[in-house]
Amino acid sequence: MNTIVSTRQMLQDAQTNHYAVPAFNIHNLETFQVVVDTAKEMGSPVIIAVTPSTIEYARGEYVVAMANVAARNTKTPVAIHLDHFEEISNIKQAIDIGFRSCMIDASKDILSKNIAIVKEVVAYAHRYDTTVEAELGKLVGIEDDLVVDERESIYTNPADAVKFVAATNIDSLAVAIGTAHGLYKGEPKLDFDRLKEIRAQIDIPLVLHGASDVPDELVKKAILFGICKVNVATDLKIPFSNAVKKFFLENPKANDPRKYMTPGKEAMRAVVTHKIKVCGSLNRY
If one counts every other C-beta atom within 10 angstroms of the C-beta of residue 12, the result is: 15
Q: Which residues pair with 229 in a beta bridge?
A: 21, 207
If one counts every other C-beta atom within 10 angstroms of the C-beta of residue 256, the result is: 9
Q: What are phi and psi of 193, to 5 degrees?
A: -65, -40
| 145 among known catalytic residues | no
3-state class (DSSP) for residue 178: coil
> Mutual orientation of helices 192-201 and 216-224 as an angle, nearest 10°?
30
Residues making up the annotated binding site for dihydroxyacetone phosphate are: 182, 210-212, 231-234
Residues making up the annotated binding site for Zn(2+) are: 84, 105, 135, 181, 209
Q: Which residues pair with 47 in a beta bridge?
A: 23, 79
- The active-site residue out of 13, 37, 83, 216 is 83
Angstrom distance (rounded) from CA 180 to CA 171 = 22
Residues making up the annotated binding site are: 84, 105, 135, 181-182, 209-212, 231-234
**Element of type H or E holding 48:** strand 46-50
Active site residues per annotation: 83
